[in-house]
Structure 1
């Protein structure tokens, strides 16, 4: 029976085992404490009873002594012998004392006369030690017809009885003693099962043993432990250790004689007292261990009943994760786990159905029921492996329908979907008629289709491509409408071009776009076609890296008032300092940035740098209007006005700080959205300028509605004005048109003083060009402003401006 660490089964077993063991051990400890407390309480009771029993033994001995002494004191012959008081009667008295003492086991018998002197004794030595105690008891004995006391002689305690002899007056006293020694202790041991030690304590506090049921050194150990307790003798039970055995003991005082005390120590073996309890305790331990073992088996069984089905469900879930939806789940149990298994089984069926539908949606086109691009790539890769194994060729045909976007725009998407279904059906019919059972047609997306031709050569692929184009050239009839479509078709194959499916498909796509440009029928892929694509991809990557690595530089070209020679503004331009190519001219990357959408990042960068420059110019006393070019994508950005407002706020600039230049073609790509954006920018107070005016295709009527402030004449008309009368006429007409519309006119491309003079005579407001300054780095503008001098004929102060760009 193995349990995996940290598994659900092991956690259940561990938890319940810990709980059961804790409960059982706690109960056992409580019982043990109860047993110990009950044992102590029982021992204490035994010691109390033992003290009563010992006192009772002393009383019985005293009564025996008293009875024996009374019998002798009332014996007529004994009384007569005492009364005669001659030598012959003295032997009779001593014999009577000895015989009477022997009967009652007295250790000493003596006679004290009426003069209170010892006249006869059975033990002269002991009599001398007891004389004082005996004489002190005579008055009490005469008054109470006998007296009992405790005497200590040579550190040994004795019971002493004094009985008066009367005839009828008191003529003497009989004194008898009984030793309190080991014999009495043994009697106590037999009666009560208590170890008994008779002890005396002298005036200095030293304990001495007078008799004990403990044998040999054990008796002395008891004395030593009592001595170690000090002068204060415990009044209640206390523990003793005798030869590794534990005893509960009690000391009882039985008398005092001349500063010495006589005591009895009663001791009960704890081990003997708790023997029955210990047997019960061992049974309890055995029952506890047995209960834990049985509980452990039950817990393990229960845990397996719970955890194993869950583990099986976990394995099933793993197989479901791996895509195996045929696994069977046992849901026959009627409990909650059975309900969980049933829910798992229902989930398995649901997931299988949904995944089947997802696969259909992922790999099949729902409109035409043809394989989609993902499925086509899988089929292509499989066909490539088979072609490599057999040493055969394989070709891919990719086509893109002509004029499909126009059909969608004019007839609607529903009509376009029906058109795509007819094209798919026509392609399938063509392959069936050509008995190309192994060929596969697919819709890759939009109006793009592809055909896979396994086991085919280039001639067969070109022949099939020609048949496809011919089939598509036949007009289609939809909803009483005849639709004439065509297609651009590209061809790529193995082993001529590539052995990778995705690459082969990409090559066919390149050839297809080349075919659409040439309109000369199907085109077979050529490596020369793909260089521009790779170059474009590389350029986009490098542009992104350039933004991240701060490789762009801001350049500016000053704008001059042609009438006064004042510097009134500047146009912001961007340059790219490539770490390997060096300076990259704008004509090389700006058009590509506009096509890919990267132009928005460039525009945002130019605006930020221009705002920084404008703020720095203002701080130095130069107030110039900054012109920035906007692309078509910038105009289509509906958030552009909000971005400008944020820029002006952050750099603390007024809206008059900027003039935004827009080309005519950018406006005409989406006139409605462009006009909406321009109106919002104009409402903010920004100047708007039409750049490269004269080269676009806008109508004057539409131009009149735009909220622009400035026209920039394209440099192609300005460069050769002094030599070409036609260019001069165009420039004059443009200036007049701009002024008639209330617009400021700016000429770019001024490269000589003569062109400056000519433009000034024609009334042109401002100009920029190489004659005044080439585009220069932004950080060199301050030096240029200090050095700028207008032509001599133009009398004007240097670097005075009339437009502020600061608050």
Structure 2
């Protein structure tokens, strides 16, 4: 059976093999490292022992040589000859030295008299440094009855022994020198199995081989390796001699006048590890056999594991196709059998849950009516049948009135019960009159009815019955609830040809019915044009912010008594790339309706902050007025956003005056007052805009933290011709002043109105007489060119009376 690598069997076999090979490889590496470590440790021990053996061998040689010198030093005739000190005895002494040296195989003999002068010497040429070494050892030889050292004579290491000649006091010293010959290194090789090499070195010169058990061809390489070593190296080091790796140790033999004599003890690393070669070969064979056995076991194990899993995978594929009846083998008692049993239980559970999920996916759990997905399927089937039989199909969509208010006041649990009651009432109504109709709940408080094979008159009749049924009060938990609904209709093939289109058109008609409050409304294409236009306008507004199409304009605010420019009101204009300049009346109401006004207000505040900061840098200090909408007041984050703008432009809150209409306050007085109090606490001025046109209570006005009243222009425009407007304006000014507020009049379009307002005590004003709204970048030039009218010479009473 061929195993594929990406199959489970292949992966199990691969895993087994990888693990076995990895374990064996790691074992071999560890064993190899252990062998090397043991070999190194053994070699290090051999080198330490070899150093001891070599020094012992040198000591034995020295002892043997001292014995030869001692025989001569204690010879009676030799001692008498030295003691007489005659010239005739000098030849006797020299002959005795030569004969003794020949018998001892000494390469050098020397006699030093009591005055520590060399009187007789024979053998190796006299060497000044040798003589100095010998003289330095005389005291040691006298004290210890002999001394020895290694000297370097003619670049050859020489073991020198010194024995005192006593009669009974020391009268001379006998010196014998023995060159360290090849026999020494051979003896050392035989005793320790180590390779031995003796080197000498002149001061700062190269290492010169003297005697060695290593091949002669390898000696230059050893000399170069020694040349690279640091001075006085005490630890073992590796060297390569003739292609053979050695671990070596360097022992100093003697130092004379800067000249070295050293011995190298070396042990072949390959020879030390050779005894482990058979063990490594055995381990490799065992590794191969274990790998083959593991491969066979892995294949058998993988097949036993994978075959039942393959069977379960086939069952899963059938379950994927919706077949839950496949047989599963439950006979095994191991973990695979437990998995099979769990799989069978899972299959049965999935089958049950799928039925429940299907029910939840297509049925509303609250009302037990079809939901939107099920209704779309039913509508699609009805449309397919209608196409064949050329029938008309109607979709009636309704949305309950005041349901959100019921939820807010009575709670969601009460609202859920209300929806159930509505569903029961509609089901009962349609069951009695329209058994073929399909009722569904689309979500929230929206219901929809499908009328197959219907007509326009019949659809209107059914819609009227539904509306009457919903207008009847509902009694719930000792509460009587009046609801009602808005109902829209769409028809196939008159309005749309697919389920989603019909639902969308019925929804458009339903919202039109809620606005008209005039019974059921059938879909008309004109309704959708308005919706499309609104959607397009919202998209264009969003793009206008991103493309920087909005422009900031300002209208100056003037003190009426002095003519001084004290502030400006910020206004927004839209420079549309296709429509040209779009005035606020065309897009502000829609922005408020859709909530885009919050984005627009923040843009105006930010641009106004930038303008105010620019003016202050030029020494012009004006208070900037910005209008806030209802949605702005209900935004609890407005104070934080305003603070960010002040911080970014480094402005004080007192540089702004925020204007609020009375109607905006009255939409939600509590939340509006909370927002205004937070703004006022920051130090910003607050103004009631269009005062006198709303329906607010003076009690609210008394509690609001405002600083300014703006008289609506509808009372100001015709003041000079209408005594009633004048009275209203005068009363408003008095009211504002009595409450400690600043009073501003808007809509001043003539000098006469200016003078009349000034006479009535109005503080500030704005209007076309002073300036129309101008682009923000032209404000500085306008201020420079502004000239107020001359003060009126009429007294206050005369001015008012003439009005």
Partners of 1:326 and 1:739 in 2: how far apart? 88
Structure 1: distance between partners of 2:702 and 2:303: 87
Contact 2:554 2:569 in 1 (8 A): yes
Question: Residue in 2 aligned with 1:765?
Answer: 763
Q: Is the 8 A contact 1:565 1:794 kept in 2?
A: no
Distance 1:596 1:331, change over 3 A: farther
When Rg is computed on C-alpha atoms for both structures, the one with the higher figure is 1
Query: Aligned partners of 1:732, 1:309: CA distance in 2, in Å?
Result: 97
**2:365 aligned partner:** 366
From the superposition, tell whether residues 638 and 505 of structure 1 become closer, same or farther in structure 2 (CA, over 3 Å). same
Shift of the 559–433 alpha-carbon distance from structure 1 to 2, 3 Å rule, reads same
Counterpart of 1:785 (choices 783, 786, 794) is: 783
1:691 aligns with: 689
Query: Where does residue 134 of structure 1 map in the other structure?
Result: none
Please tell me whether the aligned partners of residues 442 and 448 of structure 2 are also in contact (alpha carbons under 8 angstroms). Answer: yes
Distance 1:25 1:419 in 2: 77
Deviations 1:227-280 (A, max 9, x none): xx9999xxxxxxxxxxxxxxxxxxxxxxxxxxxxxxxxxxxxxxxxxxxxx9xx
Find the partner of 1:665 among 650, 663, 666: 663
Distance in 2 of aligned mates of 1:776 and 1:589: 19
Query: CA deviation digits over 1:303-346, x for unaligned, max 9?
Result: 23334445555666677677776666555543334444444555
- Per the alignment, residue 735 of structure 1 pairs with 733
**In the alignment, what sits opposite 1:420?**
419
CA shift, 1:609, in A, is 1.1
Mapped pair 1:540 → 2:538 = yes
Mapped to 2, the partners of 1:406 and 1:436 lie a distance apart of 33
1:352: how far off?
5.0
Is the counterpart of residue 303 in structure 1 residue 291 in structure 2? no
State the match for 1:515 in structure 2.
513
8 Å Cα contact 2:691/2:710 also seen in 1: yes
Contact 2:487–2:519 (Cα < 8 Å) also in 1: yes
Task: Give the direction of change, closer, same or farther, for the CA distance of 1:287–1:514 in structure 2 (3 Å limit).
Answer: closer
Counterpart for residue 335 of structure 2: 336
The 8 Å contact of residues 563 and 794 in structure 1, kept in 2 or not, is answered as no
Provide the rounded CA distance (Å) in 1 between the counterparts of 2:216 and 2:371: 106
Separation (CA, whole Å) in 2 of partners of 1:559 and 1:332: 94
Q: In structure 1, how many angstroms separate the alpha carbons of the residues matched to 2:714 and 2:729?
A: 10
- Give the secondary-structure state (helix, strand or coil) at the position aligned to 1:564: coil
Distance 1:725 1:314, change over 3 A: farther
Alignment of 1:456 with 2:454, yes or no, is yes
CA distance in 1: counterparts of 2:493 and 2:421, whole angstroms: 33
For residues 172-213 of structure 1, what are the alpha-carbon distances to aligned partners after superposition, in whole Å with 9 as ceiling and x for unaligned? Answer: xxxxxxxxxxxxxxxxxxxxxxxxxxxxxxxxxxxxxxxxxx
Cross-structure match for 1:607: 605
Deviations along 1:387-427, whole A, 9 cap, x unmatched?
Answer: 33443321101122334445555655544433322221121
Structure-1 residue corresponding to 2:469: 471
Q: Which residue of 1 aligns with 2:399?
A: 400
Matching of residues 265-280 of structure 1 within 5 Å? none
Structure 1 residue 588, shift from structure 2 partner? 1.3
Q: CA deviation at 1:364?
A: 2.6
Cα deviation code 1:594-644 (max 9, x no counterpart): 111111111111111111111111111111111111111111122222222
Quote the Cα distance in structure 1 between the aligned partners of 2:786 and 2:660.
28
Do the aligned partners of 1:24 and 1:288 also contact (CA within 8 Å) in 2?
Answer: yes
What runs of 5+ residues in structure 1 fail to find an aligned partner?
35-228, 233-277, 796-807
Give the TM-score, by structure 2 length: 0.63
Shift of 1:493: 1.2
Q: Secondary structure at the residue paired with 1:606? A: helix
Aligned pairs for 1:215-254 (under 5 A) are: none
- Give runs of aligned pairs for residues 79-158 of structure 1, distance below 5 A: none
- For 2:455 and 2:548, how far apart are their aligned partners in 1? 51
Whether the aligned pair in 1 keeps the contact of 2:399 and 2:486 (CA below 8 Å) is: yes
8 A contact 2:393–2:453 mirrored in 1: yes
- Unpaired runs of 5+ residues, structure 2, are 36-214, 219-277, 794-803
Structure 1 residue 21: Cα displacement: 6.6
Count of aligned positions: 552
Point out the more displaced range, 364-373 or 324-333: 324-333
**1:380 maps onto 2:379 in alignment:** yes
The answer to whether the 8 A contact 1:558-1:571 is kept is: yes
CA gap of 1:13–1:458, structure 2 versus 1, over 3 A, is same
Look up the SS of the partner of 2:381 in the other structure: helix
1:349 deviates by 4.8
Bigger drift between 606-615 and 782-791 goes to 782-791
Q: Matches of 2:663 and 2:594 in 1, distance apart? A: 17
Cα distance between partner residues in 2 of 1:785 and 1:327: 90
Give the deviation of 1:14 after TM superposition: 2.3
Q: CA–CA distance in 1 between the matches of 2:27 and 2:727?
A: 117
Q: Matches of residues 168-207 of structure 1 in structure 2 within 5 Å?
A: none
Residue 501 of structure 1: how far off its partner (Å)? 1.4
The TM-score, its normalising length taken from structure 1, stands at 0.62
Matches within 5 A, 1:422-441: 422-437=421-436, 439-441=437-439
SS in structure 2 of the partner of residue 365 of structure 1: coil
Task: Please list the CA deviations of residues 105-145 of structure 1 after superposition, one character each: whole Å capped at 9, or x if unmatched.
Answer: xxxxxxxxxxxxxxxxxxxxxxxxxxxxxxxxxxxxxxxxx
